[in-house]
Structure 1
Amino acid sequence: MRVVSADDIQKILTYRALIDALADAFKSDIVVPVRHHHTIPQPGADATLLLMPAWTLSLAAQPDAKPVSTFAGRAADDQRYIGCKIVTVFPDNAKLQRPSVHGQYLLLSGETGEPLAMIEGRTLTAWRTACASALAARYLAREDASHLVMVGAGALAPHLIRAHASVRPIKRVTLWNRTRARAISLGFGIAVAGIEVDIAETLEEAVREADIVSCATLSPEPLIKGAWLKKGTHLDLVGGFTPKMREADDQAVKRSRIFVDTRAGAAKEAGDIVVPMKKKIIDAKAIKGDLFDLTRGKVKGRTSAPQITLFKSVGSAIEDLAAAMLVWKGLTG
């Protein structure tokens, strides 16, 4: 079994290649059982253990199936894979100056069950999460979107910036974080040719000017107000992954054409969707589609330039498996 480090992942993956691999994955035959989500009590904020399995299916087991692509290493010989990500989220780790999220990804042969690789999970997750948002933005953000506001300055932020910049002509990035010093630090670390980076004086002022607002926080209270969103804005909500987390208020949700990564995940785990539904601000019909629908052409994303769009992701094992397979293909040729 090969141990794959964060450096290995960084050398192999590119944003465009992974976005394309994710698009193909959502069109493909991948089994994704319900994510195991366990709360672990802690003296401060509770921790979370996530187990996320997925596997590809053999075409031989589906007589009527037709391959839609050769995505992420799924070759003509129908090579199969099994994968499982093990993740821990400890929100209070920031107080200890340690990452809040840790994880590993185990990739196995779908033919024999043989372990193939143990892949560093935090980096793999950051790449696939950012690229899932960029995949959604292909359908939901205006084609001329040039100003991105990045809310949050954690490990995911630079990936979101670069991923969005790979699908839209981003010329300006405005950073905002509760701790301004961290936003400044992130700004120094962002080096993308042709992009101007600045630090927001206030979140409201930045959001009112944005074409795309991307949020990657663990906020329990809404940060983005619907009243701030100008016509044509695309709102990308990434950070919250439990019903108790929110990054946008009810008005932002109500004003938007809503899409999610997966309906089952978002309707159960995303506070930005679950809470407005419980309050009857929106109903199930307000979710116009997910990444399955968008990539398969079953529903149109943005339908007009003035429209406000919203994408909410909570993560899917499909994305992890697609990323792991792309890494494996890069290692083995």
Structure 2
Amino acid sequence: MAQHRPTAQDVAKLAGASRSAVSMVMNGTADGNVAPETQERIRLAAAELDYTPHPIAAGLRRQRSEMIGLVTDEAASSPFAGRMLSGASQAASERGYLTVIADAGGPGEDTSHYIEELRRRRVDGLILATTSLRTLRAPDGLRLIPSVLANCHDEPLSLDSIMPDERRGGREATEHLISLGHRRITWIGGGEDVDARPLRIRGFQEALAAAGLPPGDVVAAGWDINDGFTAALPLFSAAREHRPDAVFCANDRVAAGALLAARTAGLSVPGDVSIMGYDDQRHLADATVPGLTTMALPHEEIGRVAADRVVDRIEGGGPSVPAGTAPQEVLLQCRLVVRGTTGPRRPAA
């Protein structure tokens, strides 16, 4: 036989209090309404009976589900989505909300169906997250309940967005290479399909200009290991006076390809050439030999800040963007992670 689940009425009977007093104590509204000694008896009775309020019933009374919907474009296959989802789920849980995740299945997939389905199921707020930094047209359903964009922004800007500061990241990565004495620095890789690439390159070129150096060469390539290998091998096979001191790669996969190209060309890393990655991709950046120096994207923090922003909107009783205010782009700092692929420039023989 199933064990009887204690009810608020059971707590009231054991504590010698009214059912409404139990409700106020459990909901945190008892101060000024229920005598302190009665509150204490109710808490002791609830502990003795192992009573907790039913979350759905409590939510119905407050006209909330205490759930946040998180729609993402590529949760299953992305090496970064897990960090963002974990950050959002933890932040929401700390504030008493459950996160419900819907995976649209891939970049560019229509997310409006999932957003409408989550709204139909009465989530209190929504986060739309992309695994690569993108500009998109936000589905209309996001504007009907408190919503935030994570790792993307809409055009025209209508919702708050939480994103990495890619331009600053590109600048700080390049400043690291310059601080090691490198002067001939080449950018490698990255397709035009991701908004992060031009921002990282802009930061790269700003750092060179600030140091009084000429604009670095930009070598077009894709985002994968073979792209980095193909782009880097001709650079590393050139004579010493024409070879870059360092390469700044669009991401860690490209950097891994560049590392293989350096070995193929007979160069030591970082003795002959330094290699900088970007992303801090788990099980890659920390697994190469030597380990990749890289910029860590703040995916977990993006998730946390997005969830906190949504809960703030929910509990403030307002829309996604309060009246009289403009949507905000919140830029979070990337972190330099120094490992073994960067080192001081070796003087010419």
Q: TM-score, normalised by structure 1?
A: 0.35
The structure with the largest strand share of the pair is 1
Q: TM-score, normalised by structure 2?
A: 0.34
| Greater radius of gyration (CA) | 2
